[in-house]
Structure 1
Amino acid sequence: MADDMRPSRPIATGLAGAFCCLLAGIALLPLAAGSAVAQTPQQRTGQGITLPGAGGVKQDTTQPVLFSADELSHDNELGIIVARGKVEMTQDQRTLMADVVSYNQRTNTATASGNVSILEPTGDVIFADYVELQEGLRDGFVRNVRMLMTDGGRMAGNDATRSNGNRTELDQGVYSPCVLCKTDPTRPPMWQIRAARVIHDQERKTVQYRDATMEIMGIPVAYTPYFSHPDPTVKRQSGFLAPTVGAKTDLGVFARVPYYFVISDSMDFTFEPIVTSQQGLVVGGELRQRLRNGFYEIGASATVADRTTGTKDAPVTSTDKFRGHVKGKARIDLDDTWRAGLDLARTTDKTYMRRYGYGSEESLTTRAFVEGFRGRSYADVSAYAFQGLRPEDRASRQPVVAPVANVHYLGEPNERGAYWSADANILNLMREDGTDSRRLSINGGWQMPWQSSLGDRYTFAATMRGDAYWANDLAVDAALGDASPTRDATTARLLPQLSVNWSYPWVRNDPGVQYLIEPVAMFAASPVLGRQNSVPNEDSLGFELNDVNIMRPNRFPGLDRFDSGQRVAYGLNLGAYLPGGMSVRTFIAQSYSLQENRAMPIGSGAEDKRSDIVGRFVVSPWEYLDLLYRFRLDKDNLAARRHEIGASGGPSWLKLYGSYIFLDAPPNEPVTGKREELGLGASARISQFWSLFGQSTIDLKNGGDVLDSTLGAKYEDDCLTVVISYRRTRTQDLDIEPSDAILVRLYFKNLGEFGLPRVDFL
């Protein structure tokens, strides 16, 4: 006969023990939940009980159980404890709620029924109609189970059984991370996975699916008899990654199927073969390891296939040739000051990496180095090797630099802000065919800022640099190229220089806007050096005057050329600044030298006494528009020598961008040196889920030929992204041919990315 009574410690202990085991059994039903921040449920009033462990479940049973119910009864004859009406129990951040919870002390069986829900410490919520646990309360049965995960994913099944304390099986399971339709929750989600059986093996830490079907909008689209993935407790596990399949003009039909190996807690390897119908098999992979004081990663690929060498006009194709590449990176911290590193990049030929989707670089640089940082100073010792991938690059002319060392010391400012600096450089450069050179350079400097009582600002600087060069096979006349005779040369030079930078900012504040007018000037003086033909030029090639370097005392980027003579540069900064970061800014400048600087390359804009005019114009009138315009104008007739325009803007649903570049040809390259290109692009969201995008690069130099263009559409909701695009390229280089391609990419939330290759692979 059942007797109604107030809770006492023996009854509460039995009921709390049943609750603990109920939670232990149900808590292990999550099959695909990711990690989440623990959430502590609100505790209702009740009595705290200290419990023994339950079924070997990893739960802190030393924590008290807080529970409440509308009614609690105990049948002494049958040994049954029953809690009814808004039953709620909490222990160790896990909460059980149900209409009825009962515990049979004789059969050691616990049940919960009626609106059963479990709030997990991870934030996941489990719902069920009925739960029964037995066999030492380690195994059991759950009817009509549903689960809501912290990442928004949902899982459901007809029944779930638990055996051996570590194996949970879900019958007729379904999983989807998609949000259900608010107006019609019965409508199938965008995609879901149905399986006849889902098995969560805690010992092996895997989730297995049997007879699984992928459904999109309720329509089955793919079937597999079996697949598995690690359970949420596993961070890394060996297995196949998402494959890539497609077709390409020069490769034919191909498949890229990567496999991931976990070697240790700090090391892994990805094996990535590519099978093609026209060029055979490409074997690739990447090895990675995290060390105690650094890391390294190295990737490589190889194949035996046709290879084209020679030139565009005279290509030479060889069959069954080895082709491949290797890329790597390593960093090792030697101590708190010094570290060593390696950047590795090499390939067998100029087009291999672009052809098989391993990169589109025009040159590869390999560097080994040791560098140190202390205070405001820096030092490094490096070795470089280069590989040119442009059609005109010759391997015999590529330099090897070993070693090159730099030391940079920067002193602390004194009370006036003045400070000393010192720099040193040692270089040894070698090449198979061409100039070899060695260089020693030492530079000392002093700099002091100062502001007058009028508000104008000055920076005074004095430097003294000494260089020594030893060169072999130095061209007598570099303008003749390979036709020039060569000679050996040894030379030294002393390069003192004085300079002063001046600026006088004027600011006016009006309501809602701040104006700036700032005249600027720079004067530099040093002995005149002439053409400097006895010094090999390796690090100052391709110099061009622009708005960034015009106000520098030495406009050359490297050490091999020095900006000698006496020169003044003058310019003007203008600006208008509005609230919210909106602004309009412009800068224009020119320089005048007392002597012609013969070291300046022809066409650089600084070869005459009076330089070309350079400047920039930056407009950010509101949050929907950014505009940058950089220019160089001829000093005599203001003809354009260089234009660069970049613009982007638009509201969130419509983005427009464009770029334009014009580079006038220097006198010695009237045809090949000229460049004029236009780039246009746009993206527009046309509905809640759909958007369109496109971009195009147009060669205006050759009558408006389209070099590269892409058009596409994108669908994106909370759980699925589909991108469909068409790309046309007209690049041609040896075995790289113009091509048209269609790209389809699918991304399923929590599952990964599938489809045709990325754009750079096509």
Structure 2
Amino acid sequence: MADKTRKSTAISRVALAARSRLRASVPALALMSALALAAPVQAQTAIPATLMADQVFVDPAGRLVAQGAVEIWHGSIRLTAQRVSYDQSHDSLILEGPLTISDGPDVVVLADQAQLAPALRAGVLTSARLVLDQQLQIAAARMERGTNGVSQLDSVVASSCPVCATNPTPLWEIRAERVQHDENRGQLRFYRTQFRLAGVPIFYAPRLDIPAPGNNRLRGLLRPEVSADSTFGVTVGLPYFIPIGDTQDVTITPSLSSNGMASLGLRYRLARENGGIEVGGQISQDDLLPGGRSLRGYGYVRALFNLSHDWVLTADVLAASEASYLDTYNINDDPRLHGHITLERIRRDHATRVRLLGFYSMRPGDVNDRLPNVAVQGETEHHHTLAGGALTVGMSAHGYYRESNGPFGAGRDVGRSAVDLGWRRSEVLPGGVLTTVAFDARAEHVRIYDDIAYPDPVNRQAAQAMVEFRWPLARAGADGARQVLEPIVQVIESRRSGPGLPNDDHTMPELDEGNLFAFRRYSGEDASDDGSRINAGMRWARHDPDGWTAEALVGRIWRDAPLQGYPAGHSQPLGDTESHWLLAGRVSNTDGYALSMRFLVDPNNSVSRSETNLSWSTARTDVSTTYLYLPASSFESRAFDLSEWQFDLTRRHSNGWATTFGWDYDVGQNLWSAARGGLSFTNECLAVELTVERVFVTPTNSSGDTRFDLSVDLLGIGGRAPSSNSRTCRT
């Protein structure tokens, strides 16, 4: 209230001074007119300006003076100072500080004194400090602001680190003889530059261009990429960013290593209102392959476009010159590459999709000519309401191609077209029993080439009928906990007519929570059900008001005959007349703890497969561990038992440091697969991360590899904002 009274009195004093003294009214009106006409040529309209101060008077030299908590608002600019004088003869404002000029939320200038034009955008400031986007601070002995949006600062020190009286040396700083700040381009240009780390000069440059805070599309060098490994030694890459307008850019990354490797990476990006595309790759020359120095590389395409009439086009394609390149250069360590180009439309009552897929195995034992490398899919599905239930009508066609021409499956090519019809209806019976009746039918025409073991063509039909009973029982305890117990029984009759087909699209079947009660359980169509089966199980869940949740499932499948398509005597969870028992559970709470387990128990009461996942997350600690066990299986192309333990731990310390470590360990073979660790430091102006990984064995690199990666980010420059781990100066 006292502040409002003071400023109201100040406004009254301005009015009284203008009325009582004729000679004062002229400069007062001139001052207000100058402040009100910042751009008369462009706008031809006056921009309102406001001046408030404790005292306003005309000095003996005829200058209008405002002093004592002076505040001036003019457009987006707000100025505060202790004293402001308007010199009509030079049409300038003389300001005495400490003064502050704020031009919107992104530009703040502090100075001891200044001489500015009436529009407050041009002039000279002494002992100035420029703060950009509340991140980067630039201190200068002198600052000259131009009317064209370009400012020049002399004798400059720039940093986003705090500078305190108890610690006057910032963690990093850029010193320069002169700096140009181009507000229109969002660019800072330093002349005769010296970069210091903890006060120690690191490097010098005659000129250095960096983006102003908030600008992430400035042409120039990006952060260097530094890594070291046992294969290449030390590798240094210098990415160079080239923007092409507001919607396109190119990044070129030349790299050199200490062992003589040279590579050139390229990335092109295009953005449109309806999507975008990214094309990139890398060409390298090294001597890692037999035969001496050779040229090799990889390329990729990623795209997403929203087309008219709800159509969506997506693409994700990755290809390499040979199998070991991606893993050797730490680009991709997947044992099998897959890519696609997809056109699809999904609406409330129908969906249509057309896909072109490609596959390439990176496993040394696989022969890609004998694998289906190219596949084409087309499918459409429509939903209707019929007899109180949901009717689904679908049509599909797909085919795949092998490079090989071998007659007994090595070069088999298949084309298939099919029509599907499905209907499902659910009702609640007396007593709360939820009953579902479903019917599914399929007719398909299949052509098989380059495999004399199967007839061509093949016409096959399949039909299924199901009745399902669920009886959810719920209760609430006195402590507020809620429990649900749900027994489930499905009776399914399946019939298939026509000759058998080669099983190419479902060679690794699984039994889990997702397909125990699935009407169609398989990922493909080659190995469809035939005969009668009963799926039965029990679900249980408990929700505690303290945030704990527990879930459990036990179930099994009984069949009237073994499932065709699986080798006799092969222990597979789904292949025999009685499936393995499925035991699954999950426990979690709102404090970040989660434990999930899945076990398959065979008829001999032995664990045939298991998977356990444990995660724990707090404000400072993240723990994740997984144990997976799969037995050896010639049918699933697994020669040894897989028993892998994966562990990862991240610990964030209060001083900005963080540590990580983890491993992949094969318990069955007593072999380490990989070990990794990292150390990082982050504060308000700097982010440093060092990681090390030792790969002992991979599907494509049996010799192992050790890799180091180092990244350093100067926060507050360009589009990278400072960290939340900020410090404050202590008195």
Asked if TM exceeds 0.5, the reply is yes
Q: Measured at CA, do residues 261 and 669 of structure 1 come closer, stay the same or move farther in structure 2, by a change above 3 Å?
A: closer
Native 8 Å contact 1:5 1:73 kept in 2: no
Q: Measured at CA, do residues 473 and 603 of structure 1 come closer, stay the same or move farther in structure 2, by a change above 3 Å?
A: farther
Given the alignment, which residue of 683, 687, 693 partners 2:660?
693
The more displaced of 360-369 and 621-630 is: 360-369
Q: Give distance in 1, aligned partners of 2:625 and 2:379.
A: 40
Q: Give distance in 1, aligned partners of 2:120 and 2:594.
A: 66
Native 8 Å contact 1:465 1:496 kept in 2: yes
The more displaced of 651-660 and 233-242 is: 233-242
Aligned equivalent of 2:729: none
3-state secondary structure, aligned to 1:209: strand
Aligned equivalent of 1:311: none
- Encode CA deviations 1:365-395: one digit per residue, 9 max, x unaligned: 2323332233321112222222221212223
Tell me, yes or no, if structure 1 residue 716 matches structure 2 residue 682: yes
Q: Give distance in 2, aligned partners of 1:452 and 1:588.
A: 24
Given the alignment, which residue of 62, 65, 71 partners 1:82?
65
Aligned equivalent of 1:44: none
Q: Give distance in 1, aligned partners of 2:386 and 2:199.
A: 72
Aligned equivalent of 1:168: 151
Unmatched 5+ residue regions in structure 2?
A: 1-13, 20-24, 405-410, 721-731
Deviation at 1:108, TM superposition (A): 2.3
Q: Give distance in 2, aligned partners of 1:659 and 1:172.
A: 57
Amino acid at match of 1:695: G
Tell me, yes or no, if structure 1 residue 512 matches structure 2 residue 480: yes
Given the alignment, which residue of 463, 466, 490 partners 2:457?
490
Aligned equivalent of 2:338: 365
Q: Give distance in 2, aligned partners of 1:413 and 1:432.
A: 46
Aligned equivalent of 2:57: 73
Amino acid at match of 1:262: P
Q: Give distance in 1, aligned partners of 2:444 and 2:434.
A: 32
Native 8 Å contact 1:710 1:726 kept in 2: yes
Native 8 Å contact 1:437 1:536 kept in 2: no
Aligned equivalent of 1:381: 354
Deviation at 1:352, TM superposition (A): 0.9
Native 8 Å contact 1:404 1:428 kept in 2: yes
Q: Percent identity among equivalent residues?
A: 23
Tell me, yes or no, if structure 1 residue 409 matches structure 2 residue 425: no
Q: Give distance in 1, aligned partners of 2:480 and 2:267.
A: 56
Tell me, yes or no, if structure 1 residue 743 matches structure 2 residue 724: no
Q: Measured at CA, do residues 736 and 242 of structure 1 come closer, stay the same or move farther in structure 2, by a change above 3 Å?
A: farther
1:176-255 map, 5 Å: 176-181=159-164, 184=165, 186-201=167-182, 206-231=187-212, 236-255=217-236
3-state secondary structure, aligned to 1:589: strand
Q: TM-score, normalised by structure 1?
A: 0.84
3-state secondary structure, aligned to 2:596: strand
Aligned equivalent of 2:90: 107
Q: Give distance in 1, aligned partners of 2:239 and 2:285.
A: 20
Deviation at 1:662, TM superposition (A): 0.9
Tell me, yes or no, if structure 1 residue 331 matches structure 2 residue 304: yes
Amino acid at match of 1:63: I
Aligned equivalent of 1:16: 32
Q: Measured at CA, do residues 584 and 136 of structure 1 come closer, stay the same or move farther in structure 2, by a change above 3 Å?
A: closer
1:386-535 map, 5 Å: 386-401=359-374, 403-412=376-385, 416=388, 418-433=389-404, 434-474=411-451, 486-510=453-477, 511-527=479-495, 534-535=500-501
Deviation at 1:503, TM superposition (A): 1.0
Amino acid at match of 1:62: A
Amino acid at match of 2:460: R
Q: TM-score, normalised by structure 2?
A: 0.88
Q: Measured at CA, do residues 62 and 603 of structure 1 come closer, stay the same or move farther in structure 2, by a change above 3 Å?
A: farther
| Greater RCO, CA 8 A, separation 6+ | 2
Deviation at 1:413, TM superposition (A): 6.9
Amino acid at match of 2:241: Y
Tell me, yes or no, if structure 1 residue 262 matches structure 2 residue 233: no
Native 8 Å contact 1:192 1:216 kept in 2: yes
- Encode CA deviations 1:510-533: one digit per residue, 9 max, x unaligned: 12211111111111102266xx87
Deviation at 1:640, TM superposition (A): 0.7
Given the alignment, which residue of 638, 649, 668 partners 2:616?
649
Native 8 Å contact 1:625 1:648 kept in 2: yes
- Encode CA deviations 1:720-758: one digit per residue, 9 max, x unaligned: 22223332221256666322334333222123799xxxx
Native 8 Å contact 2:216 2:718 kept in 1: no
Q: Give distance in 2, aligned partners of 1:248 and 1:677.
A: 25
Native 8 Å contact 1:60 1:92 kept in 2: no
Native 8 Å contact 1:451 1:457 kept in 2: yes
Given the alignment, which residue of 48, 51, 57 partners 1:64?
48
Native 8 Å contact 1:328 1:344 kept in 2: yes
Native 8 Å contact 1:571 1:589 kept in 2: yes
Given the alignment, which residue of 495, 501, 504 partners 1:538?
504
Q: Measured at CA, do residues 693 and 341 of structure 1 come closer, stay the same or move farther in structure 2, by a change above 3 Å?
A: closer
Deviation at 1:695, TM superposition (A): 0.6
Aligned equivalent of 1:626: 594
Q: Measured at CA, do residues 61 and 226 of structure 1 come closer, stay the same or move farther in structure 2, by a change above 3 Å?
A: farther
Aligned equivalent of 1:26: none
Q: Give distance in 2, aligned partners of 1:137 and 1:632.
A: 76
Given the alignment, which residue of 96, 99, 113 partners 1:116?
99
Amino acid at match of 2:662: Q
- Encode CA deviations 1:324-370: one digit per residue, 9 max, x unaligned: 21100233444223344433221110011222233223222232333
- Encode CA deviations 1:13-61: one digit per residue, 9 max, x unaligned: 322356x4xxxxxxxxxxxxxxxxxxxxxxxxxxxxxx223598x9997
Q: Measured at CA, do residues 733 and 642 of structure 1 come closer, stay the same or move farther in structure 2, by a change above 3 Å?
A: closer
3-state secondary structure, aligned to 2:195: strand
Q: Give distance in 1, aligned partners of 2:637 and 2:193.
A: 66
Deviation at 1:671, TM superposition (A): 7.5
Q: Measured at CA, do residues 136 and 542 of structure 1 come closer, stay the same or move farther in structure 2, by a change above 3 Å?
A: closer
Q: Give distance in 2, aligned partners of 1:296 and 1:742.
A: 31
Q: Measured at CA, do residues 139 and 179 of structure 1 come closer, stay the same or move farther in structure 2, by a change above 3 Å?
A: closer
Native 8 Å contact 1:72 1:81 kept in 2: yes
Amino acid at match of 1:367: H
Amino acid at match of 2:187: T
Amino acid at match of 1:16: M
3-state secondary structure, aligned to 1:265: coil
Amino acid at match of 2:18: P
Deviation at 1:667, TM superposition (A): 6.9
Native 8 Å contact 1:108 1:137 kept in 2: no
Unmatched 5+ residue regions in structure 1?
A: 21-50, 309-316, 476-485, 755-762
Given the alignment, which residue of 628, 652, 661 partners 1:661?
628
Amino acid at match of 2:253: E
Deviation at 1:700, TM superposition (A): 0.8
Q: Give distance in 1, aligned partners of 2:637 and 2:339.
A: 34
Q: Give distance in 2, aligned partners of 1:508 and 1:138.
A: 71
Cα root mean square deviation, aligned: 3.0
Amino acid at match of 1:491: V
3-state secondary structure, aligned to 1:595: coil
Aligned equivalent of 2:291: 318
- Encode CA deviations 1:422-481: one digit per residue, 9 max, x unaligned: 111112222122211111211101110111121111111011111221212337xxxxxx
Q: Number of matched residues?
A: 693
Deviation at 1:225, TM superposition (A): 2.7
The more displaced of 419-428 and 354-363 is: 354-363
Amino acid at match of 2:350: S
The more displaced of 598-607 and 626-635 is: 598-607
Q: Give distance in 1, aligned partners of 2:198 and 2:96.
A: 33
